[in-house]
Amino acid sequence: MNPLRCIPYVFKQVTRHRIRSLLTISGIGIAMFLYTAVQAMNKGVTIATTATANDTTLVVYREDRYCPATSQLPQDYQRRIEDVDGVLSVTPMKIVVSNCRTSLDVVTFRGVPKDDFIADRGDELEIIAGSIAEWKSRTDAALLGETLANRRGLRPGMTFDAAGITAYVAGVIRSDNAQDQNVAYTALEFVQLAGKNQLGIVTQFNVKVQDPSMLDQVADDIDEVFRIAQEPTATFGEKAFIGKIADDIIELVGFARWLGLGCLAAVLALMANSIILGVQSRISEHAVLQTLGYSGRLVAALIMAEGVLLSLIGGAFGATLAVGVARYGNFALSVEGTSIPIVADAGLLASGLLICGSIGVLAGLVPAWQASRRQIAECFRAA
């Protein structure tokens, strides 16, 4: 018997008991939605906080301060930082956020010296709308990260209000750096003058070093320069700094991983229960199949194929919905001026489907093995 000729039979079994199949598919879909959402958050945390051998950026912050509103450093620290051996460039930043607590909808303004910023970061940014020229020509202009622009429905030529600041959208940027996706870059003086007059005061300095191997040494040298200053500093690698201030989010995502594993266990139990019920209700049918020449191995394969099909349908529905919500909702977890992106892509969808297929196989192993070993006469007696 050619197994491929049995494929219509598998579909027939799934559609024969519509209510049971729909309930099973719905349960799998809900569980996979939660699992995929958790994995998307976990991937974002990994991208934002895992340092690589190519990282060359340090963040100089006020010691013992984390929320941007409490970190205040004199802007003239820039000259002294530039004199430290190994420093390639220094960008002062004044950061204002609409909400310093953890939230999914935060606007982060980063005031920077425009010419220095473009010279330092221009090759890392892709302008997908608007222009750099207009951004440089207007004092109130902002370059928005793509995630922020999409979430707020903002386009070049529009104005928006957040955190007590009214800014003009001059352009939208795309970047591989997670911190560029949910931010509004403006002129440094524009942010310093917004609200309280804080000319000459910045939140942090972003420092690029000449070589990744020098990160720790340069960080120690910078902090030593200001060790006895009125405003001492604490300097970290950029991703280590994000991990330090976003530790609550990281712990939350770590706990959510257990939720994801629980979802997989629920899917396995649901699939196994559905397959067992289906097998028990079709014992006499399996006897007829064996009478017609179907081997015990083929009957087992049909049972497992049914489980895989149900699992893949439900998993595809739940995982696709989760990826769509994450991508088109443009969500990012933000805390104290830093962003943790929620990363959902085709790879995450493919891994979800692979897991669902594997669960379908595992759930069908025992009932398929039992059905394959049952003799024809025993099947008829059980029926």
- What pLDDT is stored for residue 43 in this prediction? 81
Same domain, 88 and 222: yes
Whether pTM exceeds 0.85: no
- What pLDDT is stored for residue 294 in this prediction? 66
Which portions of the chain are predicted below pLDDT 70? 1-7, 9-10, 51-53, 102, 195, 197, 245-246, 248, 278-294, 296, 370-383
Dmax over Cα atoms in the chain, in whole Å? 92
Same domain, 368 and 275: yes
- What pLDDT is stored for residue 159 in this prediction? 92
Distances (CA, A) of 282 to 5, 64, 78, 251, 373: 20, 68, 78, 47, 15
Same domain, 141 and 187: yes
Rounded to a whole number, what is the distance in angstroms from the first to the last CA of the chain? Answer: 25
> In whole angstroms, what is the distance from residue 285 CA to residue 355 CA?
30
Q: Nearest Cα to 281, choosing from 9, 3, 13?
A: 13
In a domain, 242, yes or no: no
Same domain, 105 and 166: yes
- What pLDDT is stored for residue 226 in this prediction? 92
Domain boundary among 181, 205, 231: 231
- What pLDDT is stored for residue 289 in this prediction? 62
**Burial degree of 72 (CB within 10 A; 0-12, 13-18, 19+):** middle
State the residue range of the domain holding 286. 3-48+248-382
Helix axes 247-280, 18-49, angle to 10 degrees: 160
Count: domains in the chain: 2
- What pLDDT is stored for residue 2 in this prediction? 52
- What pLDDT is stored for residue 64 in this prediction? 84
In a domain, 368, yes or no: yes
In a domain, 54, yes or no: no
Same domain, 39 and 166: no
In a domain, 56, yes or no: no
Show the DSSP H helices in 87-145 as ranges: 114-121, 132-137
Domain boundary among 186, 203, 231: 231
> In whole angstroms, what is the distance from residue 147 CA to residue 348 CA?
19
Same domain, 190 and 98: yes
Domain boundary among 197, 231, 265: 231
In a domain, 144, yes or no: yes
Same domain, 72 and 206: yes
